[in-house]
A and B are shown apart, each in its own frame.
Chain A
């Protein structure tokens, strides 16, 4: 129930952000600023584009390894010992589905940022401003996926703890 409320809240927040990004039209002063700082803005966006790509590659590797090298291995070990791994498999599935969202959302963000970079901010400052607003929303979505991945990792960790106590209890039962 709490999870459902959290999902509804996050969706609502995203819709509100998208709506506000679309309705957030730049003022004349902002248009002037965009035109005056066009080159500097492009350079900043290019730097962000490159540093986020590096972050995507490095963090993506870590996220991927977490599932492939650790979670799958441990789940397999439990299964091969004929023990119950259902809750851990379910946690891993949830993690992988968030990881898929992360990949897709990052792709959407990168495309949006690239399109902003490609807009001629001198002649089309409003389109440029709006493209940045959309890229901001897309980046927030990627960040929210990252937070969910962190939560999912913590949840897997606590499920391993639960598995350990159940396993030790079952051993005690066998000994008695």
Chain B
């Protein structure tokens, strides 16, 4: 047993550069694997439009939310303040409700042209 340890130590001493490179590659592979798992499981992958396949829509991302002001938690409370908030909230709510997100049936067999009736 002791001999084997001595042999291993002498191998490392002889080939320390090779061992260093191999260990570096191994550690980076493990770190990349862990980060890819985190990237996929956290949902970041779904929001990352820099991925291939999203080139056509990348420029259409809405980056200006300047009309979405952060409502300050500090300040007085009175009817005017409430009305002002209601107005801001209504404006944004209308913006959201105007879009029927993920509605429609683009994955229906008929829409895709693979329903039984498509053959008729």
Assess whether B107 is in contact with A160, with CB atoms less than 8 Å apart. no
In the complex, number of A-B residue pairs with CB atoms less than 8 Å apart:
161
Chain B: interface secondary structure? loop
Assess whether B77 is in contact with A81, with CB atoms less than 8 Å apart. yes
Measured in the bound complex, the distance between the Cα atoms of B58 and A61 in whole Å is 15
Rounded to whole Å, the gap between the CB of A96 and the closest CB of chain B is 15
Rounded to whole Å, the gap between the CB of B66 and the closest CB of chain A is 11
Complex interface: chain B residues within 8 A of A73 (CB): 70-73
Complex interface: chain B residues within 8 A of A52 (CB): 102
Which of these, A62, A83, A110, contacts B46 with CB under 8 Å? A110
B6 at the interface (CB under 8 A from A): no
Rounded to whole Å, the gap between the CB of B53 and the closest CB of chain A is 6
Q: Which of B7-15, B25-33, B86-94 contacts A (4 or more CB under 8 A)?
A: B86-94
Assess whether A65 is in contact with B57, with CB atoms less than 8 Å apart. no
Assess whether A76 is in contact with B73, with CB atoms less than 8 Å apart. yes
Which of these, B97, B107, B116, contacts A135 with CB under 8 Å? B107
Q: Which of B75-120 contact A (CB under 8 A)?
A: 75-77, 79, 81-83, 85-86, 88-90, 92-93, 95-97, 99-103, 105-109, 112-116, 118-119
| Contact-residue size bin, chain A (C-beta under 8 Å from the other chain) | 35 or more
Complex interface: chain B residues within 8 A of A56 (CB): 46-47
Which of these, B62, B88, B97, B107, contacts A132 with CB under 8 Å? B107
Assess whether B93 is in contact with A157, with CB atoms less than 8 Å apart. yes
Which of these, B60, B74, B102, B115, contacts A146 with CB under 8 Å? B102
Chain A: interface secondary structure? helix
Rounded to whole Å, the gap between the CB of A64 and the closest CB of chain B is 10
Assess whether B102 is in contact with A142, with CB atoms less than 8 Å apart. yes
Rounded to whole Å, the gap between the CB of A48 and the closest CB of chain B is 5
Complex interface: chain A residues within 8 A of B54 (CB): 50, 53-54
Closest to B120 in A: A29
Q: Mark A97-108, 1 if CB is under 8 A from B, else 0.
A: 000000110110
Assess whether B77 is in contact with A167, with CB atoms less than 8 Å apart. yes
Q: A46-B53, A70-B71, A76-B73 are in contact. Are A54 and B60 (CB under 8 A)?
A: yes
19 other contacts beyond A52-B102, A53-B47, A157-B86, with CB at 8 A cut-off?
Answer: A30-B114, A54-B49, A54-B61, A55-B99, A57-B61, A61-B65, A62-B65, A69-B71, A78-B77, A81-B76, A103-B43, A139-B102, A146-B102, A149-B96, A153-B93, A156-B89, A160-B82, A160-B86, A167-B82
